[in-house]
A = this chain, B = another copy of it.
Amino acid sequence: MAEKVTIATVARHAQVSRQTVSNVLNAPHIVREETRRRVQEAIAVLGYRANQAARQMRTGRSQLIAVRIEPTQDGINGSVLDRFLHGLTETAEAAGYRVLLYSATGDDHEIATFDDLLSAYDLDGFVLTGTDHGDPRTAWLAERGVPFVTFGRPWDDPESHPWVDVDGADGTAQATRRLLEAGHRRIAFIGWPEGSGVGDDRRAGWRTTMAAAGLDGAALNRETEDGITHGEREMRALLAADEPSTAVVCVSDSLALGALRAVRDTAVPVAVTGFDDTPVAAAIGLTSVSQPLAAAAARCVELLTGQLDGQPTDPHVLLCPTLVLRHTA
């Protein structure tokens, strides 16, 4: 059994003091070239790795960032988080951090978990996904000066804390423009009820694009909860109107999937686009707006490590999605 190799082992092997080894690791510039090389060689030979726990104890930093893993909702969007997590893990590793998962039911529970993670594990920062209006979690963290980033804008005050987000309005605008170019005029929108930041943003992209083309979409706007059946119902309503829609932009792939069902046997083909480019969309050939999740994750890590290492970065990042064309539009 190989006995553990500590900084002292390295020091002895390189004929220097512990502190010098530490300096080589944490402040290389203050060590003479030749000494540094000798120490680094010893490190390599012995396979030394700094013990995280010991370092953490002195510095209070754990090199750990926490992300909540949410219960897979209706499942369709589950893979979004999955891809995001993957990007997060990879970028964090490159920056010398690791990702810790936690789960929580409800904001109170989550805040209690923050407290636990901070005091027991000395967590360095948090990445929050899906923030709401007046989110108590961000308030709690900000109050205590805990570094964090949200994936999703704070809709009340964009300046309140660092965030990364994807421009949903731009996504639906792209989709709408594409449909306009294809000659469509009666382009409907099936979205979520007014009030959710994300949903309103996506609706706005459709609305302004329609307006810019001199079209009034008021009668073509539908609001409903997320879900396949709801999407189907709303689409049927749109088709049954005096002037039926010939295309529809949906706020999610779930709704788009429902819409697709409704248009399966229409005489004239109806174009459908979804949002999030979930595996379902790919599987059935649904045109959908794709979020750059890996990039978003990377920027989250950058913002977070920027705060931690005191490198000021522009704390607000808005990324553009891309429209993935398949055969439904």
Contacts and interface: CB of A to CB of B under 8 A. Distances in A.
The interface size bin for chain A is 35 or more
A279 B101 contact: no
Interface stretch (A47-55, A155-163, A180-188): A47-55
B279 A78 contact: yes
A194 interface: no
A133 to B, nearest CB: 26
A50 B280 contact: no
A140 interface: no
A3 to B, nearest CB: 12
Chain A interface main SS type: helix
A121 to B, nearest CB: 5
Contacts of A49: 116, 119-120
Contacts of A120: 49-52
Contact of A79 (B53, B72, B85, B116): B72
Nearest to A61: B53
Given A50-B120, A76-B279, A280-B280, 17 more contacts: A4-B119, A47-B115, A49-B120, A51-B119, A53-B53, A53-B62, A57-B57, A72-B83, A72-B86, A76-B282, A78-B279, A89-B103, A93-B102, A100-B101, A254-B283, A257-B283, A280-B283
19 contacts: A47-B115, A49-B116, A49-B119, A49-B120, A53-B54, A53-B56, A54-B57, A69-B89, A72-B79, A72-B279, A74-B282, A75-B79, A75-B279, A75-B282, A85-B101, A89-B101, A254-B283, A279-B280, A280-B283
